[in-house]
Amino acid sequence: DGGITQSPKYLFRKEGQNVTLSCEQNLNHDAMYWYRQDPGQGLRLIYYSQIVNDFQKGDIAEGYSVSREKKESFPLTVTSAQKNPTAFYLCASSISTSSYEQYFGPGTRLTVT
Amino acid sequence: AQTVTQSQPEMSVQEAETVTLSCTYDTSESDYYLFWYKQPPSRQMILVIRQEAYKQQNATENRFSVNFQKAAKSFSLKISDSQLGDAAMYFCAYMGSGGGADGLTFGKGTHLIIQP
């Protein structure tokens, strides 16, 4: 089946540690995105990538980093510089950034204590 | 910057009844896209319906329809014959003419409760 996978579903880390969230898609989509969701809030864009080896900051990129070495993979690293990293993180993809339809993964809940 | 406002934090409806969720947005663009996403307890985001701003006709998908008022910048979602499986958070979202490069701008959501 085609789709987007995110692992793990729940992730726990100690404060001060970097942590990497996985996102893989087999939809052959060029564009991929990372969003953050906080309680009572909609999603906010962290980073997006239009093609391999290219990515752009979204609205809340501070404290995060990404890479896009393969078309199907777009991992997100939450660094120790992110002041409030506990949140639900959603990955999405689309055929291209000019496409209006984004497909979402199941998300990863990150808890930092 | 674009903003999306959902003024109803929570709505409740009896099963089989009709409910309307409200959404307003602010933009200076004339060409854009509007969406309603459903987020059930599994937290997977599911696209319910979309509307292209250049289309005057309101979008419809089975029991889901929208009332798009471009001049008023209003985009409400009507769910007819509500079912228990419709219970979820519903998010209104905006995308500018730049497509995904602008990302989706979301409202804060409306929690829809279906009373059996």
> Taking a C-beta distance cutoff of 8 angstroms, is the pair B60, B108 a contact?
no
Q: Which residues of A touch B (CB under 8 A)?
A: 31, 33, 35, 40-45, 48, 50, 56, 58-59, 88, 90, 92, 94, 96-102, 104-107
- For residue B97, pLDDT over 90 is answered with no
CB-CB under 8 Å, A102 with B108: no
Report whether the peptide linkage leading into residue B9 is cis, meaning its omega lies within 30 degrees of zero: no
Mean pLDDT of A49-77: 95
pLDDT tens-digit profile of A2-36?
A: 699 998 999 999 998 999 999 999 999 999 999 99
Q: How far apart are CA B74 and CA B62, in angstroms?
A: 21
Only one residue has tokens 């509007």, namely B34
